[in-house]
Amino acid sequence: MKLKDRLQTIFQGKIDTELLEKLPAGYSVIGDIAIFHHVDESLSKYKELLGDIIIDIDSQINVVVEQLNTVTPHRKPIISHIAGEPRTSTVHREYKTEFQIDVAEITLSPGNKGERKRLIQEVEDNEILCDMFACIGNLSLPVVVNKPTVIAYGIEWNQVAFNFLETNVKANKVEKRYYPIYGDNRKKTPVNFATRVLMGYFDSDEEQLKCGLEAIKGEGWIHYHSLSPRDNLNQPKKYIDRIRKRLDYDIEIKNIRKIKKYSPKNYHLCTDLYVTK
């Protein structure tokens, strides 16, 4: 049964009939924490009851929170506790990878799970990855954990995320193959070393794309993430075409993929570029 139908059955008789329609249709799960992304204001006084019900019906959940917003560029979420144990830290496990995370500090998008899987499948033996927006290892750590000959360098400028990245590298016992680098990727991205560059951040600029290109040794992939209006999915192509003219690299657009619906107007896209120097 869908969550909303189930909640409507449980709440029947407990709240006004017109509020039944406003009950949430789903939540994200990070470790043992359920995250609601928006609970309708009209349900404010029933939030705790809602949270308690989720803990009752979902055996993996011990904490329920609401995420009100994220603040760029560090993407710190604004979290309000709804029910369960008074904590926001948890351990999330995905693709044999352990992520220690505080959901009040860091976001880990379940909508990017498919991309994490795709990378594990696509990266070949002995590759060297450069994750320019590493966060807590979201995209690159599962690849290193699942591919024993792959090496990664993950750059992160948010101290809180960086601390979790270091912790997670140790927790997954990949210290000899995953090297966290603290700082602004515009200054800290090493050059001429990578087979594949991950640019998993929507607001990257031209200087950062240039750093990504310089990180590639000889030839290799750049996975460039962006937000594009649903009626203009060609936007990354126009951007790359513009940049290509100013740079002395052969940049081929191999694919523009939809990762997820981001908002009513925008898609999260990933453009796969193959670069030859």
Ligand X SMILES: C[S@@+](CC[C@H](N)C(=O)[O-])C[C@H]1O[C@@H](n2cnc3c(N)ncnc32)[C@H](O)[C@@H]1O
Among 39, 139, 213, 216, binds ligand X (CB under 6 A): 139
The stretch near ligand X (CB under 6 A) out of 71-79, 120-128, 144-152, 246-254 is 71-79
| Residue among 51 and 180 whose Cβ is closer to ligand X | 180
Among the residue ranges 5-13, 17-25, 152-160, 269-277, the one whose residues contact ligand X (CB under 6 A):
152-160
47 binds ligand X (CB under 6 A): no
Q: Pick the closer one to ligand X by CB: 46 or 99.
A: 99
Q: Could you tell me the smallest distance in angstroms from the CB atom of residue 110 to ligand X?
A: 10
**Rounded to 5 degrees, what angle do the CA atoms 178, 179, 181 make?**
145
Q: Smaller CB distance to ligand X: residue 97 or 185?
A: 185
Q: Does 101 bind ligand X (CB under 6 A)?
A: no
Tell me, residue by residue from 154 to 193, as one string, x for binding to ligand X by CB under 6 A and - for no binding: -xxxx--x----------------------xxx-------
- Rounded Cα distance between 241 and 257, Å, is 17
Q: CB-wise, 111 or 218, nearer to ligand X?
A: 111
Euclidean distance between CA atoms 137 and 153, whole angstroms:
10
Q: How far apart are CA 106 and CA 277, in angstroms?
A: 36
- Strands 89-94 vs 97-102: parallel, antiparallel or unpaired: antiparallel
75: nearest Cα among 156, 131, 170, 182: 156
- State phi, psi for 71 to the nearest 5 degrees: -110, 120
Are β-strands 89-94 and 76-84 bridged in parallel, bridged antiparallel, or unpaired?
Answer: unpaired
192: its two tokens: 């001429």
Burial profile 105-124: b = 16 or more Cβ within 10 angstroms, e = fewer: bbbbbeebeebbebbbeebe
Nearest residue relative to ligand X (C-beta): 200
| Among 15-23, 73-81, 87-95, 172-180, the segment contacting ligand X (CB under 6 A) | 73-81
Residues making contact with ligand X (CB under 6 A): 73-75, 109, 112, 133, 135, 138-139, 155-158, 161, 184-186, 200-201
